[in-house]
Amino acid sequence: MIPDAPLDPNTPTQSTLGNRVRNFLIVIVAIALTGLLFLGLRNQTSAVSLQELDQASTPLEMAITNNRPSLVEFYADWCTVCQKMAPDIAKLKDKYGDKMNFVMLNVDNSKWLPEMLKYRVDGIPHFVFLGNQGETIAEAIGDTPRTIMDSNLDALIKGSPLPYAQMNGRASGFSA
């Protein structure tokens, strides 16, 4: 029989070593989950940009002459509301793009000053709903929920009155 040896406080016991391994594994898993969450949110928020929408948009000159209804958006790259709405506009374009035009006009480009004055753009995003002949049907200014935009675009394509003809949401100030 072995006599009881005195315990050395510097020698780790089995349970202390097990706790350390468990804590180490918890830290590794937490770091991995944090990294995955960060990458997932980053990819979700950068899914679509205003520049991509602009590059894929129908030129205004074509939109007002091709006998299709149009949604014209006045925007700016610095506009936080415009950036927030970009994914919704992209989804609407995916849904309705084969039936109508989506036109993007950057207010920082002086080329669009006549249109900014014509539609009295004083806040962005500023949406103009145009009929088949390029006539103004309705306008919406500011942060507009996708469900409302969806209802308006559906009615515009059908040639029906727009259910939300004059909408004003939160907008970024702008002066032409």
Distances (CA, A) of 33 to 24, 26, 36, 55, 137: 14, 11, 5, 36, 49
- Over the stretch 122-170, which tens digit does the pLDDT of each residue have? 999 999 999 999 999 999 999 999 999 999 999 999 999 999 877 665 5
d(CA 83, CA 79): 6
| Catalytic pick among 53, 72, 79, 86 | 79
Identify the pLDDT of residue 113. Answer: 97
Listed residue (107, 119, 96, 110) closest to 50, CA to CA: 107
- Domain map (residue ranges) of the chain: 13-46, 50-173
Q: Give yes or no: 48 in active site.
A: no
Q: What is the pTM of this model?
A: 0.69
Q: Is the pLDDT of residue 35 over 70?
A: yes
Q: What is the pLDDT of residues 10-27, one digit of tens each?
A: 655 567 877 888 888 888
Q: Identify the weakest region by mean pLDDT among 33-37, 75-79, 133-137, 145-149.
A: 33-37
Residue 79 catalytic? yes
What CATH number labels 50-173?
3.40.30.10
Characterize 15-51 residue by residue with b for buried, 16 or more Cβ atoms within 10 angstroms of its Cβ, and e for exposed: eeeeeeeeeeeeeeeeeeeeeeeeeeeeeeeeebebe
Question: 170 is written with which tokens?
Answer: 């939160």
Note the pLDDT of residue 29: 81
What DSSP string describes 47-106?
A: S--HHHHHHTSPPHHHHTTSSS-EEEEEE-TT-HHHHHHHHHHHHHHHHHTTTSEEEEEE
Query: Do 57 and 103 meet the contact criterion of CB atoms below 8 Å apart?
Result: yes
Whether the ω angle into residue 125 lies within 30 degrees of 0, i.e. cis, is: yes
- For the cut 90, the answer to whether the pLDDT of residue 116 exceeds it is yes
Catalytic residue among 60, 82, 86, 137: 82
